[in-house]
Amino acid sequence: MKKIILLVITAISLIGCNLNKENNDWKRDNLKGKVKSVRETPYYVVEKFGEIQKGRIKSFITSYIYNEQGNRIEANRYNSDGSLSRKTAFKYDTNGNLIEDNRYNSDGNLYEKWTYKYDTNGNLIEGNHYDSDGSLYGKWTYKYDTNGNLIEANRYNSNGSLYGKWTYKYDTNGNRIEANSYNSDGSLSGKIAFKYDTNGNRIEANRYNSDGSLYATNIYTYEYDKYGNWVKRIMYNNDKPESIDEREIEYYE
């Protein structure tokens, strides 16, 4: 079960930032207004006197910095004590397409690099993952529908063999409503179905095993700032509050 979750979530996280045909990362990240930076902190949930409260920090703190064109130029990951764990720097071509990101450890040493290729419509069609010594670690390829929505992603090992495949479905608003993950032999390994609110934020995720049985339902509730961006999100797992995410958002003047 854990493998299914990791495979699908990894695919979503790795290929969710620059795929659907949006003008910039503000739109891809569903951000309103001229956002300069976002700092997100996840917390465990504690319940006191019947109220849901945040406990200690659950995992890494992440921050994203955007330029005035709305593209990410830097991403940082911090440990719970505030020390830097990882830094990612992004490079773009003259069309605003992400062409390279370099990832550095806390000592400032490069430990991996990604490069990206696009078709004539500006769709990302290939991502190559390299180790610090420049050797190829793996490759992703992507396919789209006529609306520019990502419908298929394939991951390959360094030797060119298929590692896994993911397919996606969308509603009329372009929200991803289904993600299916497949093993290298083509067999289904899992599925996630999503629901959204009118702001385009994900409010429900239903997770299924390969046999179609439901094993988890995640519900999300939000609080928003004056721009309509969420600043607090509570995630429930099978009706039990599991985590609280808080965001500090800075805007360009």
Query: For residue 15, which amino acid is it?
Result: I
pLDDT tens for residues 186-218? 999 999 999 999 989 999 999 999 999 999 999
Q: How many domains does the chain divide into?
A: 1
Integer Cα distance of 121 and 98 in angstroms: 14
What pTM value is reported for the model?
A: 0.85
> In which domain, by residue range, is 127 found?
2-251
Lowest mean pLDDT among 47-56, 80-89, 237-246: 47-56
pLDDT surpasses 80 at 67: yes
Structure tokens at 109: 């040493």
pLDDT digits (tens, 9 = 90+) for 80-132: 999 999 999 999 999 889 999 999 999 999 999 999 999 999 999 999 999 99
pLDDT tens-digit series, residues 212-240:
999 999 999 999 999 999 999 999 999 99
- The mean of the pLDDT values for the chain is 91
pLDDT at 15: 46
Look-up of token digits 């955007």: 66
Tokens matching residue 238: 């099978």
Amino acid at 98: L
The DSSP secondary structure of 85-108, one letter per residue, reads EEEEEEEE-TTS-EEEEEEEETTS
* Domain CATH number, residue 41: 2.40.128.720
10-25 pLDDT, tens per residue?
444 444 444 555 678 9
Q: Give the number of other Cβ atoms within 10 Å of residue 64's Cβ.
A: 21
* Cβ atoms within 10 Å of 235's Cβ, excluding its own: 18
Confidence band for 253, pLDDT divided at 50, 70 and 90 = confident
Lowest pLDDT segment from 15-19, 28-32, 49-53, 175-179: 15-19
CB 173 within 8 A of CB 194: no
User: Quick one: average pLDDT of 158-175?
Assistant: 96
Closest CA relative to residue 167, chosen from 26, 7, 1, 2? 7
